[in-house]
Amino acid sequence: MLVDKDDFWSWKLCGSVYFNSKESTSSKKVGVFVWRVRWERLPGLSELDKRGIDLHSVLCPLCDDAVETVDHALFSCKKVREIWDKVFKWWGFVYNQQSLHNILNGSSRVQCSENDVKIWQAMIWVSVYLIWKNRDNKVFKKSSWSPPIALCDIQVKSFEWIRKRCNKVNIEWLDWLHNPHVLVL
């Protein structure tokens, strides 16, 4: 049985389990995005400039204070740090990370139980993906930059992503909002 709704295709695999093409690609998008970040394959302004693309400016479109490298756009920009501060505060941690690499790989991870490590990593991956999307919206759609709205988006999208990808995680929305690192596996 196929269901066709406004840009949405899904079909029943077995019983009451549906495969939704829109939902399945979002995990892949985050995974591919993180891979691109790790291999420095994002089209940040400094990267585009290195490739000979004539740009008006290579300064960060969020802060206008520094050259936009991938590390700057996803980690060290003062506007992005506001989001990271909120994300870490939400988890009850102090934000003292050294680099984007450390955040992605968890090498300077805050103290988490073993059960929380994968959830923490998934939330971080979704966060960097959404930070880049917010950056793109600012650049291409001239939308405003709002750390509280970005945090809300991170909370919603990471909750959805983790619930869909981790069958063993028993997580409720209010628990996720108020105490995300105490989850039942």
pLDDT, tens only, 5-50: 444 444 444 444 444 445 444 778 898 999 999 888 888 899 999 9
Q: How far apart are the first and last CA of the chain?
A: 33
Residue 12 falls inside a structural domain: yes
User: Torsions phi, psi of 150, nearest 5?
Assistant: -60, -40
Query: Is position 15 within any domain?
Result: yes
Quote the pTM value: 0.80
Angle, in degrees to the nearest 10, between helices 78-91 and 114-141? 150
pLDDT given for residue 25 in this prediction: 44
Would you place residue 167 in the very low, low, confident or very high pLDDT band (cuts 50, 70, 90)?
A: confident
* 88 found inside a domain: yes
Mean pLDDT of 167-184: 78
Specify the pLDDT at position 15: 42
Q: CB atoms < 10 A from the CB of 181, how many?
A: 18
Predicted confidence (pLDDT) per residue in 67-125, tens digit: 999 999 999 999 999 999 999 899 888 777 677 888 887 654 556 666 677 788 889 99
Specify if 185 maps to a domain.
Answer: no
Residue 184 lies in a domain: no
Whether the predicted pLDDT of 148 surpasses 80: yes
What local confidence, expressed as pLDDT, does residue 91 receive? 87
Place of tokens 């691109």: 36
pLDDT at 172: 86
Tell me whether residue 56 is in a domain. Answer: yes
Residue 85 in any domain: the answer is yes
Q: Could you tell me the residue range of the domain that residue 38 belongs to? A: 2-178
Number of domains in the chain: 1
Rounded to whole angstroms, the Cα distance separating 12 from 18 reads 4
DSSP states of the chain as a string? -EEEETTEEEEEEETTEEEEHHHHHHHHHHHHHHHHHHTT-S--HHHHHHTT---S--B-TTTSSSB--HHIIIIISHHHHHHHHHHHHHHT-------HHHHHHTTTPPP--HHHHHHHHHHHHHHHHHHHHHHHHHHHH-----HHHHHHHHHHHHHHHHHHH-TT-B--HHHHHH-TT--B-
Q: Is residue 105 part of a domain?
A: yes
